[in-house]
Amino acid sequence: MPTAAIARLPSSPFRHRLSERAPAKINLSLAVLGRRADGYHELSSLVAFAGAGDRLTYEPEGAPGLDLVGPGATTLAVEPDNLVLKAARELATRVTGLRIGRFALDKRLPVASGIGGGSADAAAALRLLARANGLTPDDPRLYAAALATGSDVPVCLSGRSSWMGGRGETLSPVALPRFGLVLVNPRLPVATAAVFRALGLAPGEMRQPPQQPQDFSTRAEALAFLADAPNDLEPPARALEPSLGEVAEVLAGTPEVRLVRMSGSGATFFGLYDDCRAAARAAKAVIAARPDWWVKSTVLG
């Protein structure tokens, strides 16, 4: 793949032929089972996707590269190797003659926030390249390129609620009921590597994976399971950044909230509600309390 440059544009170029949503990935539960010999951590996570996310547009005939637009564009300006371009390169090494075009990323999710923004963007790029090059969604080369790009990219490529195992390579679809969802990020950086180190797992130490129900038919059923299936990375993340406790407390104080938890390695927390109206009311309360935080009301599932 030719060297591709990243540029920032003052406004979004909506003349592209193809577009894909890149929804936020939410780790509803996350069990860290141990450290593998290859250095990766073995995980078991219930993953779902939000109605909110980034949007990637694509011009198949454009010069290879990536333009950045939207509220989060400036936060990515220092990244010369955005995951969108990495995903395109990984696919190009596996598909002879792959047609590469130009992407424009409308960045709306906070960066490095535990909700898979970069991974979702990379997955959207792979779906766009598949459409432009006549690849079927189940082409194994897409999955291989996704895994080579990042551990969270395969589940984002599928875009379905799933059990995610291994370092991200094992996926099993699971049915989830719809929830109202509020996402809150305090605009604080929390380094993923530091959170895993703080977890303190010794090399070779392995835990038993939690039981994985096949499907959840009701919100009550899902909430009952999640009550006993936490995010193992939340305690070490809070220890590294004690102010994260305030995020959880503010969300927990909103009316009608059913569950409050951190997603991934942080620093985004989520609140689950029975419907989008309750989530919208809760988001207004959080914004009133902390207008400096990033807050988004949406749906899950």
Residue positions annotated with a catalytic role = 25, 152
Task: Tell me how long the chain is.
Answer: 301
Tokens in use for 268? 């985004």
* DSSP code of residue 8: E
Kindly give the residue spans of alpha helices, DSSP state H, lying in 31-167.
Answer: 83-92, 117-133, 140-149, 153-158
* DSSP code of residue 54: E
Q: Is the peptide bond before 73 cis (omega within 30 degrees of 0)?
A: no
Backbone torsion region of residue 259, taken as left when φ is above 0, otherwise alpha when ψ lies between -120 and 50, otherwise beta: beta
Radius of gyration (C-alpha) of the chain in whole angstroms = 19
Roughly how many angstroms between the first and final C-alpha of the chain, as a whole number? 36
3-class DSSP state of 244: helix
Give Cα 257 to chain centroid, integer Å: 22
Crossing angle of helices 117-133 and 140-149, in 10° steps, is 150
Cα–Cα separations (whole angstroms), residue 93 to 2, 85, 90, 98, 122: 12, 13, 5, 9, 15
User: Of 152, 11, 136, 141, nearest to 73 (Cα)?
Assistant: 11
Residues 123, 54: contact at Cβ < 8 Å? no
